[in-house]
Amino acid sequence: MLISLPGVLGPDELQRVRELLASVPFVDGRASAGGDARRVKNNEEVDPSDQRVATLNRLVLLPLYRHPMFQAAAMPRRLSGAFFARYLPGMQYGRHVDDPVMGPEGGRYRSDVSMTVFLSPADSYDGGELVIETEYGEQRVKLEAGDAVFYPSSSLHRVDPVTRGERMVAVAWAESMVREPERRRLLFELQQVEEQLRAADPDAEVTRKTGRVRANLMRMWADV
């Protein structure tokens, strides 16, 4: 399930993020990659030891984490910090799958949901599309600054080469209360149906039954 969220960050948040990114040091992005991803990764990332990363995380991740669509579809149990990545002309990230377990010793988490928040205006760079392989074929994603996309971390994906300008994004991961992507999709679709039924007739038996089924499936599948 691939979901795009428009306008996660507003103009004020974007301006503050860009001011911070203009003042922080960048390092070789391969330092944060594991396994085969290191071999195909070519970008730069904000030095994670810089103290300003904590402020960047609050500005970018809190609005995403609090978004009702993200909560409903990702069902997050734990959220990682973000990596702030820069792609200049000639840079790309080859076809790969995200590491299944991430985080430092003592703070490990399972990567169930991958997230990208776009920080550069879409017309400010050429190339750089996020390409996600799904059961319906390749999905090419290039969103406006402030928009976000999230999808199962088990998906093969890549970032096409940037040919002009600068692509700046924040990437992060969530461990979900529901591990399997298909179960998350079913629960999300059931919630949407329940909301429609509640809007039409909140006291109807079918409304109560749908809510009960969704709640009991969540109780059966959730790992908290």
- Boundaries of every domain in the chain: 3-176, 181-221
Tokens for 9, please give them. 């960050």
Task: Grade residue 128 by pLDDT with cuts at 50, 70 and 90.
Answer: very high
Q: What is the mean pLDDT of residues 180-202?
A: 95
**Phi and psi, residue 36, nearest 5°:** -70, -20
What pLDDT, on the 0 to 100 scale, is given for residue 95?
Answer: 94
Say yes or no to pLDDT of 33 above 90: no
What pLDDT, on the 0 to 100 scale, is given for residue 179?
Answer: 95
Q: 118 forms bridges with which residues in the sheet?
A: 169
Residue-wise pLDDT for 156-167, tens only, equals 999 999 999 999
Looking at the structure, give the CATH architecture of the domain made up of residues 3-176. Answer: Sandwich (2.60)
What pLDDT, on the 0 to 100 scale, is given for residue 18?
Answer: 95
Q: By 3-state DSSP, what share of the chain in percent is helix, strand and coil, each rounded to 5? A: 35, 30, 35
Q: Choose between 204 and 107: higher pLDDT.
A: 204
Strands 3-5 and 148-152: antiparallel
What pLDDT, on the 0 to 100 scale, is given for residue 105?
Answer: 82
**Helix (DSSP H) and strand (DSSP E) numbers for the chain:** 6, 17
Q: How far apart are CA 46 and CA 25, in angstroms?
A: 6
